[in-house]
Amino acid sequence: MAIRKVARMGHPILRKRAVPIESNDILRMPVQNLISDLFDSMKEYGGIGLAAPQVHESLQIAVIEFTTDNDRYPNMGAQGPLVLINPTIEVLDPILQEFWEGCLSVPELRGKVARPRKIRVSYLSEKAQARTIEPEGFLATVFQHELDHLWGNLFVDKLVDSKSLTFMDEFRRFHLSKGAQSIDEEPIE
Ligand code: ZN
């Protein structure tokens, strides 16, 4: 159990394709400890998701968890603690939806990103069991943001328009106040 330091944009580990984990290794302590540290770190920093490369581990693991009592995500549903290992994505509905995104590895910035509105994710659980999940809407964007970290991508690579890139203060003043919906690993305070 430990809170890990988060790698920021510019650190090469964020741009590497993370390594898949052998299913025999999933139940072993190093991976189980990393999973526990990912949840501890995500909660400490107030995020809704965190991927292993963000804590300097180039391995294909991401965690997601958020609740509906989070003021920033009213009517967005909830997602219990979920561990995604060696995930693959298939697009079920290619229609793009836009959300503002924020990232613990890109602090103080928000930008608009368009992503497919429904996907299927196949992955191994923390118990090394094969699973699939079909997130849509807001949740589909959260999944795609987190899984992009495993493939060396950041949300700034996928901006609808680079002119949407906005510092947090200006986002609060000019966009959030007009009801902008954002997904943020990094909390808006
Ligand atoms: Zn991120």
pLDDT in tens, 33-67: 999 999 999 999 988 999 999 999 999 999 999 87
- Rounded to the nearest angstrom, the gap between the alpha carbon of residue 136 and the centroid of all alpha carbons in its chain is 15
**pLDDT tier at 71, thresholds 50, 70, 90:** low
Q: Give the Cα separation of 37 and 3 in Å (integer).
A: 6
Cα-to-centroid distance, 139 and ligand 1 (Å): 14
Nearest Cα neighbor of 133 from 92, 182, 77 is 92
Q: What is the pLDDT of residue 186?
A: 73
Cα-to-centroid distance, 114 and ligand 1 (Å): 15
Cα-to-centroid distance, 92 and ligand 1 (Å): 23
R_g (Cα) of the chain, nearest Å: 16
Q: Cα dihedral angle (118, 137, 48, 52), rounded to 10 degrees?
A: 20
Q: What is the pLDDT of residue 108?
A: 93
Condensed to tens digits (0 to 9), the pLDDT of residues 74-88 reads: 566 678 899 999 999
Cα-to-centroid distance, 171 and ligand 1 (Å): 17
CB-based contact 38:52 (threshold 8 Å): yes
Task: Give the angle subtended at the CA of 86 by the CAs of 85 and 91, to the nearest 5°.
Answer: 110
Q: Active-site residue 101, yes or no?
A: no
**Catalytic position from the list 57, 101, 126, 146:** 146
Q: Give the Cα separation of 167 and 111 in Å (integer).
A: 9
Condensed to tens digits (0 to 9), the pLDDT of residues 130-178 reads: 999 999 998 999 999 999 999 999 999 999 999 999 999 999 999 887 7
Q: Give the Cα separation of 110 and 160 in Å (integer).
A: 12
